Chain A
Amino acid sequence: MPDTDQPPLPPRPSPQDEVAVQAWLDEVILRHYRQLYCYSLSLTGHEADAADITQQTAVKFAQHWSSIREDGAIRSWLYTTLYREFLLFRRRTRKTVEFEESHLSVELHQASPQELNADGSTAMELLERMDEPHRSVLSLFYIEDLSYREIAEILDIPTGTVMSRLSRAKDTLRTLLAPAL
């Protein structure tokens, strides 16, 4: 989960100060990589692919950090970039069936909310049972604690779409958790 008590990022170094730039880039990535990986894992469902996409995001950040105008926009930039990398990955691998708004894929196995505490695997499995558009919205909501407006910005979709997808995804979640609710 994002650590709201983290101190603010150190000031951006001069691009000419190679050592300081590297230290600053490291600091940014170390703050975000766990959540980025978790989000990537929720999208791909595969550890190696998730690590690959996370790494590609970090690499893009190292290349383009100076084009991000404000430090406050870094988080959104990272998630936007990661999601684009995921879309490229999906296009290359064609593992994921194109989304149809009319259905969510739900398997019959059900979990209990108590199981969610053990480790992240049960929660991740629940996310994996959803179609990608719902999964991507719900993952950002839970993993990075983003507002629906921020999610809309990252995924480049209207806020109304985010709200409706969140609502439907939560319906699915409740169905999967139904026995204990």
Chain B
Amino acid sequence: MTEEQLQLLRAARPDRQDDGDPAVAEARAAVARAGDTSLAWLESERAVDLKMKASLGQVEPPPSLEAALLMAMRAVRGTVTPPENLRESVLASVRNPEVQPITAPPQNMVPISRRRWLGWTTAAAAAAAFGGFRVWRRISSIPMVDLTAALAAITAKGVELGLMSPEKSAIAGWLRENRAPRLGKFPVKLDALERKGCQIYGIQGHAVSLECLLLPGMRELHLYCTASAEVAGSPANEAAPDVRSYEGQTLATWSQADLTLWLFSHEAPDLIRELLG
């Protein structure tokens, strides 16, 4: 049996629908001539193939996917317009409700390719099924430690900005328009930095806004902000920022004007302290 025949047999489908192929038939004959050991090998290959096929056949897509696909196809063909404000519904319907951008995609993006669009369409489909959108309710405050871990994970994975703009006023307007928490008065040196954009996340039902700031050389700083009333164990109001290393990043946390803030970066702690000074 040649190497080519071996490869051909391994490429032949296990239900033997390729047996009509003369080359496959010849390879099988070569295996038979080679003796029992080769035949046993071929059978064990087939057994593994069949088990892999059967096993992968058990993989279930997310329950919401079917409805989302149908809705997305209608949306792109213009036969359905997704509702404009699905904030509550997205929070209620996404498969992983822990962390999800909850705002509309910016005009210059192709919205259908974005994961949040999947959330929208899922929500729209769910709404169609249940006859109305669920009302989002804030259940309880979230522990500071949990929120910090979630924000660190978001930052480490790479943020996806809902609005990309260097304009402070545009960012402020966008956050205000989406009823997101926002720090009104930044520390002076932090406020002097260039802006990149912003986003709003829903984390266990709590809205957290993100502003992305830039140091020279496009080094990003991520400033997250939420209402202190929603955070259990938030830092004392107006206390000095606590700057420390956190899972490979530099993290500063503090509270200011009834808001709890997190600043994630890869900068040296001293630089962060200076910026927050």
Contacts and interface: CB of A to CB of B under 8 A. Distances in A.
Interface in A5-53: 18, 22, 25-26, 29-30, 33-34, 37-38, 41-42, 47-48, 51-52
A30 B62 contact: no
Contacts of B158: 93
Interface string A113-141: 10011111111101000000000000101
B53 interface: yes
B51 A120 contact: no
Task: Report the contact-size class of chain A (Cβ under 8 Å from the partner).
Answer: 35 or more
Contacts of B62: 47, 51
B15 A145 contact: yes
B116 to A, nearest CB: 10
Contact of A166 (B10, B77, B114): B10
A1 interface: yes
A106 interface: no
A174 B44 CA distance: 10
B53 A63 contact: no
Interface stretch (B65-73, B176-184, B211-219, B222-230): B65-73
A124 B56 contact: yes
Interface in A59-90: 59, 61-63
A82 to B, nearest CB: 12
Contacts of B49: 142
A29 B72 CA distance: 12
B7 A62 contact: no
Interface string B13-53: 10100100000000000000000000000001101110111
A110 interface: no
Interface string A85-121: 0000000010000000000000000000100111111
Interface of A: 1, 18, 22, 25-26, 29-30, 33-34, 37-38, 41-42, 47-48, 51-52, 54-56, 58-59, 61-63, 93, 113, 116-124, 126, 139, 141-143, 145, 147-148, 162-164, 166-167, 170, 173-174, 177, 181
